[in-house]
Amino acid sequence: MADAAATFLQHLYASEPPLPDYVSVARAHQRIPDKLLVEVDDFIALFERVTRRQAWIARATDQAPAIARIPRAETCFFSAWDFHLPPDRPGDWQLIEFNDNGSGFLFAAQINRVFYELCLADDAAIQPSPTIGELGRQIQEMITEEIRTCLNTDSPAGVAILDDSDSLQSGRFREEHTRLAALCRALGWRTYVVAPEALQWDGESLLVDGAPVDFVVNRSTDFFWQAPQFAALKEAYASGRVYIAPNPFSYATRSDKRLLDWLSRPHMDAALGITPDERALLSRHVPPTWELSDDNLETLAARKQELVFKPAQSHAGLGVLDSRAVGRHRLRRLLSKGQRYVAQQWVDKGELLDADGNHLWSDLRVWYWRDRRYLLSGRASPRPDRLELGPPGGWLPTFEEMSVK
């Protein structure tokens, strides 16, 4: 088994294009039953219905920054739902968070395909993962459809793949931006990979190096564009002439972790139009979550061993508090500084052993665009309470296992 895992990694880092050597990959894989994925599909369809209702949108944007209250039609093609599958009862899978700025989809597809070709191609129970070329064409089709739907054209004036300057220089997904740009250029579109400070607004068009762009793939983690370098992007967004996804509206109505409070518990159902049948499905698969407040601080602090405390607006596990560091005084300081946190019921991750016998804890990431599930991936961590993607952990080859007919 260790030899097969070593061969897999050798092929992966020598493939074309090679996986960047700073991307860690676990020496293991996971199989997800197709029946479980059908349930996940139904759940995601419900999530989409609920979060697009006017009552939901009005509540979600009521206290949001003004820029997040502008309704938008864009649907991000790298939206990702993250789930935990408890090892003793995987059918009770739980949504941990939704991310409309999910990173790693091109890397995950490459990891899955290389593993499949080397280790699973003869396993009739495994749904073949898409080739790099197949996934690339799917992404091109999704982008093209977004352009047609939101810009009423078949070809954009130009494409900008946007990220913060430090991420473009040393971020873990900078190579993914380059690959995405290549897919856009292959369709004949002028495409740039830039930081927000490279953008200009001339009153009519968003410009990069003096040339117009009207389709922006936004990878920045400044979710509400509060830094001064976003001034041009904000003006373009307010004009309605430029496609930008994800954006402050999609973040405020779908990705802010405080929304898990409404999804997980019935206290807002009447105001949000959530029916009893919808509530049953939501409560089964969204762990109880509370937005931290003065009213519940004492209760949540007393239950800290069974909860996970994390920022309402964060990414990649940043800001998650160790339960040993959580106390009433710490939580009060967070509130006094205006730092918004949620407390989520602890949910066990899947467990597995890698080829070297290391104990790892895994999650499931499901990639969706509109009503299409197009990719599975997973992350494996050497700790059950943190997402650590360094060896022996890392991205985890993940596959759909079909039922025996």
SS (H, E, C) 17-35: CCCCCCCCECCCCEEEEHH
The H or E element that residue 352 is part of is strand 350-353
Residue 138 has pLDDT above 60, yes or no: yes
- Mean pLDDT over 8-17 rounds to 89
pLDDT of amino acid 322: 79
CA 227 – CA 395 distance, rounded (Å): 31
Report the percent of the chain where pLDDT is more than 70: 98
Q: pLDDT by residue (tens digit) across 43-75? A: 999 999 999 999 999 999 998 999 999 999 999
pLDDT of amino acid 313: 82
pLDDT of amino acid 317: 59
- 147: Cβ–Cβ under 8 A, 6 or more apart, which residues? 153, 154, 155, 156, 215, 243
Q: pLDDT by residue (tens digit) across 212-271? A: 999 999 999 999 999 999 999 999 999 999 999 999 999 999 999 999 999 999 999 999
- Mean pLDDT over 349-374 rounds to 96
How far apart, in Å, do the first and last CA atoms of the chain sit? 29
pLDDT of amino acid 3: 78
Q: pLDDT by residue (tens digit) across 300-358? A: 999 999 999 999 887 645 678 877 778 888 999 989 888 899 999 999 999 999 999 99
- 232: Cβ–Cβ under 8 A, 6 or more apart, which residues? 196, 199, 200, 201, 206
Phi first, then psi, for residue 99 (nearest 5°) are -135, 110
Residue count of the chain, please give it: 405
How many helices (H) and strands (E) the chain has is answered by: 14, 19
User: What is the DSSP annotation of 122-181?
Assistant: T-TTBPPPPPHHHHHHHHHHHHHHHHHHHHSSSS-S-EEEE--HHHHHH-TTHHHHHHHH
- Mean pLDDT over 80-101 rounds to 95
Average pLDDT, the chain: 94
pLDDT of amino acid 318: 67
Residue 362 has pLDDT above 90, yes or no: yes
Q: pLDDT by residue (tens digit) across 102-116? A: 999 999 999 999 999
- Mean pLDDT over 279-306 rounds to 95
User: What is the pTM for the complete model shown?
Assistant: 0.95
pLDDT of amino acid 315: 62
